[in-house]
Structure 1
């Protein structure tokens, strides 16, 4: 196997400006080409209400791999299947989904991707 030796890198989400769309905010750090994004869905947030207009699609067509760090997130896939992810859960969301906060508190998660897998305004 080839050698891969990136330099040690560090970023602090608190030092990164938030990208806010309605009730959804994101802070993205890029380390050696890997995007690590802290996402907050405030109470009442829903992808189809807050980000759909930026995506230009009916459902989110980006894949996500993330760890939920607080609150709960409901997800409905294009086929109608649903799941709720809570703090401590690791989630893989393929393209074709909607997502919203569940309950009375914000949902936070940290997402990992290679490159720019997010919508920009």
Structure 2
């Protein structure tokens, strides 16, 4: 998905909303929502109404509260390489939602990478 601009948190929340909607429409009734955006996860979990993203967060919450099981988790970017790869490639696509029905060889590589749980180093600078 390419939203065309805005803040990182807005992009993360829009991606979460769109992903939940696609999963619901496909008939998924048990899902794990993982995001490397700690701020997006905290907004979804909090009861604050003062966020500039309140309307978008409300839409995400409505989707989560439908008749299904959705577990919301924070993960580091290195823990979800597929999402990071898709976000990077989506940036270069036209504005809008793009559904991938057949993964490219590179996407297949990253899916396998995530499935086997390969560790990648996380560099922390002081």
Per the TM superposition, whether the score is higher than 0.5 is no
TM-score (norm 2): 0.24
TM-score (norm 1): 0.25
- Which structure has the highest strand share of the two? 1
- Which structure has the highest helix share of the two? 2
Structure of higher RCO (CA pairs closer than 8 Å, 6+ residues apart):
2
